[in-house]
Amino acid sequence: MKPMQGEMWEQEYPEWLIILDRLNEVTISDADDNFIKDIEKDYESINIVDEAKKFEYYWSGKRKLKTNRKGSWKLGWKNWLDKTKRQKEYYERTKQGTPKNSAANNYFRSKEYLQEVRRKQEERKSRRSEID
């Protein structure tokens, strides 16, 4: 049996767009091919389907996605993805720590640093002995 044309078109939409369509403010017909390709290309480093679920959950309750004109939900969706991408990049950058050849790494392993630490320890010990 030949499938209906509507069923064939529905399969072409990405999963994240179908999830977003659960919101009243979102209309699948507003998302053209260029918008879909841009989202998938620009945000390939994050899991777009998971973010769509979070976006839909966040806006499905008492909050209402502000849409003054047709298709303005797309701006909110891109802002959501931008924020997620920035947070991911920040988290990865802080997780890495200092670079291998930085001055900080050389200083902490140097003789000067160890001498400074020992000098401060000796000062603390001498202060304690003066107090007692």
Please check whether residues 108 and 90 belong to one and the same domain. Answer: no
Each residue of 90-120: pLDDT tens digit? 888 777 766 666 666 655 667 888 888 899 9
pLDDT at 48 over 90: yes
Residue with tokens 């291998």: 100
DSSP line for 92-106: HHHHH-S-TTSHHHH
Please check whether residues 91 and 112 belong to one and the same domain. Answer: no
Please check whether residues 88 and 72 belong to one and the same domain. Answer: yes
Please check whether residues 44 and 76 belong to one and the same domain. Answer: yes
- 18 CB-side CA count, 13 A: 7
Provide the pLDDT confidence category of residue 4 given band limits of 50, 70 and 90. Answer: low
* Model pLDDT, residue 127: 87
Please check whether residues 93 and 111 belong to one and the same domain. Answer: no
Please check whether residues 63 and 111 belong to one and the same domain. Answer: no
State residue 124 phi and psi, 5-degree precision: -65, -40
Provide the pLDDT confidence category of residue 13 given band limits of 50, 70 and 90. Answer: confident
Domain count, the chain: 2
Please check whether residues 49 and 68 belong to one and the same domain. Answer: yes
Instruction: Calculate the average pLDDT of the chain.
Output: 81
Provide the pLDDT confidence category of residue 85 given band limits of 50, 70 and 90. Answer: very high
Q: Which two tokens stand for residue 83?
A: 């924020």
Please check whether residues 11 and 29 belong to one and the same domain. Answer: yes
Please check whether residues 27 and 45 belong to one and the same domain. Answer: yes
Domain that holds residue 124: 104-132
Please check whether residues 36 and 86 belong to one and the same domain. Answer: yes
Please check whether residues 19 and 74 belong to one and the same domain. Answer: yes
pLDDT at 57 over 80: yes
- Higher pLDDT: 132 or 11? It is 132
**Rounded-to-integer distance, Cα 92 and Cα 94, Å:** 6
Residue 45 contacts by C-beta under 8 Å, 6 or more apart in sequence? 85, 88
Please check whether residues 70 and 51 belong to one and the same domain. Answer: yes
